[in-house]
Amino acid sequence: MSLKYGILGFLSEWPGASGYDLKKEFDTFMNPFWHTHLSQIYPELNHLEEEGYVHSEIIEQTAKPDKKIYTITEKGKTFLRNWLSSSPESPKIKEAFLMRTFFLDNVTANEAIFQLQLYKKRREDRLKAMKKTLKERLTQIKNENAALTPRILMIVSVYKKGLDEEKRFIRWCEDTIKLVQHYKDLWKKEENQEEILISHDSLEDAPKWFQEIIDEIED
């Protein structure tokens, strides 16, 4: 699992972080592509400590519960570098809404459009939140007059990928909504009418991008 590498990656520049600290880092910086829970982080930290990749210590606090913090070991740094230098894994895509869209012929056209609009709104909200986080991070770096580091460069690059991905999904939602609207007569289940079939020869008036997909498949 990649979670352990994410934990080691954060600890590589942040010695003495608690599980809660790490959770906040995941939520702030990895939200575009990775989501995790405290219930996953703490068992992983225990496993990493058992393997000798991190070590922990208890920090006594006044008027607060004692705090357990973790630091990466030299063995952990080597383990992280070995992973970073290994061949990238093949992508395993699990996008639940794409599976849902695949079967939207089982509901009415209006319901299909509503689901696409709802998903588009959620993607727009994510895009807005990501822009806000990146802006705050860059403003902080500027205000602190911090030196440019490879970590900062990579964070910006990953966030650009995340922003591009959200924009791509938003455009896809818009295109698919137009597609359903264009062929709304195909969805007759809401009126209990017989299914309408459209021949391949009738696709000339389809949205341009849809026709391009048909042409590409036939090449």
Interval 171-205: pLDDT, tens:
999 999 999 998 888 886 555 555 544 454 554 55
| Residue showing tokens 């990749």 | 53
Residue 117 has pLDDT above 60, yes or no: yes
Q: Residue 205 has what pLDDT?
A: 54
Q: Tell me the per-residue pLDDT of 17-55, one tens digit each, with 9 for 90 and over.
A: 999 899 988 887 777 677 788 889 999 999 999 999 999
Residue 134 has pLDDT above 90, yes or no: no
State CA 135 to chain mean position distance: 18
Q: Which residues contact 77 (CB under 8 A, 6 or more apart)?
A: 8, 12
Calculate helix-pair angle for 19-29, 109-143, nearest 10 degrees: 110
- Which of 103-107, 196-200, 210-214 shows the lowest per-residue confidence on average (mean pLDDT)? 196-200
CA–CA separation, 105 vs 188, rounded Å? 10
Residue 121 has pLDDT above 60, yes or no: yes
What pTM was estimated for this model as a whole? 0.72
